[in-house]
Amino acid sequence: MLRQAAILVGGLGTRLGERTRTVPKPMLEVGGRPFLDMLIDELARYDAFDEILLLAGYRAESIQQRYDGAVRGRARLAVSLEQAPLGTAGALVHAGDRLQERFLLLNGDSFFDFNVLDLISRAKSGAVHMALRADVVGDRYGRVVLDGDLVRSFIAPGHGAPGPVNAGVYVVDRSIIAGISHLPSSLEQDVFPELAARGTMSGTAYRGYFIDIGIPEDLARADRELNERLRRPAVFFDRDGVLNHDAGYTFEPGTLQWIDGAMEAVKAVNDAGYFAFVATNQSGVARGFYEESHVHALHRWMADEMALIGAHIDAFEYCPDHPDGKIERYRRVSERRKPAPGMLLDLLSRFPVDTARSLLIGDKEHDLEAARAAGISGHLFSGGNLEAFVKQYLFQKAAPSH
């Protein structure tokens, strides 16, 4: 798995006029907060990246002051600061010694709502594997010519050609830096066409919501609609008996057995644009069978296993308490312990969830009671293939709008 993401945030933003005279384009407010905050938060929710490196240039002091050394979820933020404009390819050259062997790269002025881990799981070889937005109307963006998943060439904006467009998200092999022979240099205009000609560039098309804030009209549109686009339905999974076989107080990776289709079910939820959450009672902590650190370690292992197929959980919630617990500090009645809805309500307060289109999958009646108390539809899983089970409910509700 890739553990590093980099975001290109060094552009001048000249098409936005006075708006970027004192503020770098990715720091412009959209929906009441800097656009770059939204990009970073989206990366952080995958819980897959140890570092998010911001490749900064123009007006970089505000970026450095706000983000350098900060932590979002699992990821620590860092800033690579150019002293002179070097172009998008030059930003990679400048930060070369800080980039890992393979990394995720994003444009800092566009937002694309799709499953990033799916892109990473498909990037098996080659110099660059890019995310493409299918079915974009209009001639503002250049088109990408595909042969299967191989990128063959690029068509400049304004030529009316059909086909997907470059969405500004890439899995990059650091070796491309050695081929950048002059600076300033552009990835889109100089590097990518050469890689396509050599057959070392590939891509996958997705249909999620896409917007680029590079022109005033789209910046205004993002300000109007992006917050609502980030509001999505969710699937809440119980853990033992749903994602993994309930062997009784499972807390070690070596003893966990996945339910058939469990990881694929989570990926189906991700690919559909839903949040994926886990809410699990873990009274084994209160009973003294294991500690909270074991719960965290198991969930980290589960997340890493799911990431290998392009799946992720947005948040793991657990309740260690039980009124009959052996460990005194956990011996209590808790509103977070199902059938009480506390874990679900906590998630609803932290994430922009469309409750009406959300659902919970559990294997016990107390899971469904918690769902009802939180205002979420609940469904009882009694065994079999979880992917097939989830899909029969996932698409009964209106699909999230992209």
Catalytic positions, written as ranges: 238, 240
Report the Cα 127 to chain-centroid distance in Å: 22
Any residues with CB less than 8 A from the CB of 311 and at least 6 apart, and which? Answer: 117, 263, 264, 266, 267, 270, 276
What is the distance between the alpha carbons of residues 354 and 18, in angstroms, rounded to a whole number?
Answer: 37
Structure tokens that stand for 63 in this block? 């970026």
What is the distance between the alpha carbons of residues 92 and 185, in angstroms, rounded to a whole number?
Answer: 10
Structure tokens that stand for 265 in this block? 């079910």
* DSSP annotation of 66: H
What is the distance between the alpha carbons of residues 284 and 295, in angstroms, rounded to a whole number?
Answer: 10
- Confirm if 132 and 203 have CB atoms less than 8 A apart: yes
Which helix (H) or strand (E) element contains residue 261?
Answer: none
- Confirm if 290 and 296 have CB atoms less than 8 A apart: no
Tokens 């098409």 appear where?
A: 15
What is the distance between the alpha carbons of residues 97 and 84, in angstroms, rounded to a whole number?
Answer: 18
Distances (CA, A) of 73 to 37, 47, 48: 13, 7, 9
Report the Cα 254 to chain-centroid distance in Å: 27
* DSSP annotation of 260: T
Which helix (H) or strand (E) element contains residue 106?
Answer: strand 102-107
Distances (CA, A) of 298 to 111, 223, 250, 315: 32, 39, 9, 13
**Side-chain-side CA neighbours of residue 145 (13 Å):** 11
- Confirm if 381 and 257 have CB atoms less than 8 A apart: no
